[in-house]
A and B are shown apart, each in its own frame.
Chain A
């Protein structure tokens, strides 16, 4: 049996069509049910167990080996800094990690930055040689810039609609983010055939998708 940790929400929504296209089994009631664990058996007899986790926890589940593989955004993966194998870029659930703020702040030096990504934000501003204070928040980061808790936000931007609705503009695009297939280091070796089967099928589906989107 292969246990797969999926990130609830945007990442799963973006990746599931690809997962179906690859012919990997999925539970029918994934969207409607409130359950967090699902068992499914594939046509070729391979058993899968799916865990629905918060995105930021997927690398943890995989690193500890309670999940063999996981699907998670590159942003979360970099921030978590866990020792896992990053096997495949699934090219889905794309967005950008950006620095944004109110238009009138743009010309001033950054002082305080609100983010869910303290590690990455610190690396980014240090690499620019700018000393900033990092304020860690866990959601609705834009709010911090709107009400003046921070003069910059360092956050994921998908369409830019939330930023625009709050009168914020993007100052810099830091990183292109997409969903990644990750694997536990032990599982990759002890369940090699099952893990490589998933990798191969997803890669074939990705190639198909390029030819006939």
Chain B
């Protein structure tokens, strides 16, 4: 073999990845295992087209999120985008049924999703965001409350546990807590968004720099990162005292109580072993309104599964209902399961023997 210096073969667009026989088999088996499990749990498989109108995807979102979408014009001149995730499509499909009186919807899916990126696919599958990746997930519409949240987290944990992934950790946070906490600590409204963006990026140095001019009496980042709804000790008394008298403090306290309640349910149901809370975890999707969670595994730099509650999104589509959902990032999960071996063309025949669950 030699390098094709004359460019004899057809080129592949950047970000796209060819998946050869053994690899494709591994991926399909993982998708099937997850789908079978979700179907056993009472979730029905749905599917839809790859393109959505940008206007559909924009509902309930900030303009900045659209920056990552692959947008183009359809034959009539309307802007469409390759779906960056399945939740908006599912919302679009579910709303007519809800309007006609359906109370609860449990759907699952296995689809490719698309994003703008310049990284090669192998790189972004393991770490950042891939141009094309596969998500297998569920959307559970119509239920709210701590039991519904715990059910979704339990389902995510069981799905991950069935894949025999090693060393995983499920991290829980709440979309409304960090912003409310910052406001209640005395951060002016116009600075809250910038600070939560720092948290979403994991830029703790930038967070401290932006917070420094306000001369707050507490180390807010330290306090926030050490709050643990699972621990018996609860919220520090000083925090409780300060928050009780303020409207934004009341929001933070209410969310805190919600999380303590959820933590108690999780502990009771034996779901707290591989689970921790990190209230500095903020997601870069603006439609989340409640609990959010991410599953981390050694050897990959981004979550292998992620989800959260979005109670206001469906009303943007014309019928209001609470909802929660999550998706497993299939290629990243395979990278974690096989320690990267699945990326090697013709490589990981031994991955079955090692009990990697594929």
- A86 touching B276 by the CB < 8 A rule? no
| Contact status B276-A186, CB under 8 Å | no
> When A64-B126, A89-B205 are in contact, do A83 and B302 touch as well, CB less than 8 Å?
yes
- Determine whether the beta carbon of A190 is less than 8 Å from that of B205: no
Residues of A within 8 A of B127 (CB): 63-65, 82-83
| Contact call A85/B202, Cβ cutoff below 8 A | yes
A100 CB, min distance to chain B CBs, angstroms: 26
Write out the residue numbers on chain B whose beta carbons fall within 8 Å of the beta carbon of A190. Answer: 167-169, 296-298
Q: How far is the CA of A85 from the CA of B207 in the complex (A)?
A: 12
Chain A residues near B206 (CB, 8 Å)? 86
Chain A, interface size: which category? 20 to 34
Q: For residue B348, which residues in chain A have a CB less than 8 angstroms away from its CB?
A: none
Q: When the two chains form their complex, are residues B301 and A88 in contact, meaning their CB atoms are under 8 A apart?
A: no
| Residue of B127, B276, B297 with most chain A CB atoms under a 10 A cut-off | B127
CB neighbours of A89 from chain B (8 A)? 205, 208
Asked if A186 contacts B297 (CB within 8 A), the reply is yes
Whether B301 contacts A63 by the Cβ 8 Å rule is yes
On whether the beta carbons of B204 and A86 are closer than 8 Å, the reply is: yes
Contact with A along B101-138 (1 / 0, CB 8 A): 00000000000000000000000001110000000000
A86 to B202, CA, bound (A): 6
Say whether B278 faces chain A, with CB atoms less than 8 Å apart: yes
CB pair A88 B296 closer than 8 Å:
no
Residue in B126, B128, B171, B205 whose CB lies within 8 Å of A189: B171
- Give A176-206 interface residues, CB cut-off 8 Å to B: 180, 184-190, 192
Given contacts A83-B128, A84-B202, contact A64 B301 (CB under 8 A): yes
Residues of B within 8 A of A37 (CB): none
* Cα–Cα, bound, A66→B206 (Å): 25
Contact A184 B276, beta carbon cutoff 8 Å? no
Shortest CB distance B224–A (Å): 13
Which residues of chain B have C-beta atoms less than 8 A from A88's C-beta?
204-205
Instruction: Given the known inter-chain contacts A87-B204, A89-B205, please indicate yes or no for A186 contacting B128, CB distance below 8 A.
Output: no
Report which residue of B126, B128, B202 has the largest number of chain A beta carbons within 10 angstroms of its beta carbon: B202
Question: A161 to nearest B CB, angstroms?
Answer: 29
- Find out whether the CB atom of A84 lies under 8 angstroms from the CB atom of B301: yes
For the complex, give the distance between the alpha carbons of A65 and B128 in Å: 12
CB-defined interface of B182-208 with A at 8 Å, one 1/0 digit per residue? Answer: 000000000000000000001111101
Chain A residues with CB under 8 Å of B205's CB are 86-89, 180
A88 to B202, CA, bound (A): 11
B299 in contact (CB, < 8 A): yes
Chain B residue at smallest Cβ distance from A182: B202
CB pairs A–B below 8 angstroms (14 shown): A62-B301, A64-B126, A65-B126, A65-B299, A82-B301, A83-B127, A85-B202, A88-B205, A180-B205, A184-B301, A185-B296, A189-B169, A190-B169, A190-B296
Residues of chain B whose beta carbon lies under 8 Å from any beta carbon of chain A: 126-128, 167-169, 171, 202-206, 208, 276, 278, 294, 296-303
A residues whose Cβ falls under 8 Å from a Cβ of B: 62-66, 82-89, 180, 184-190, 192
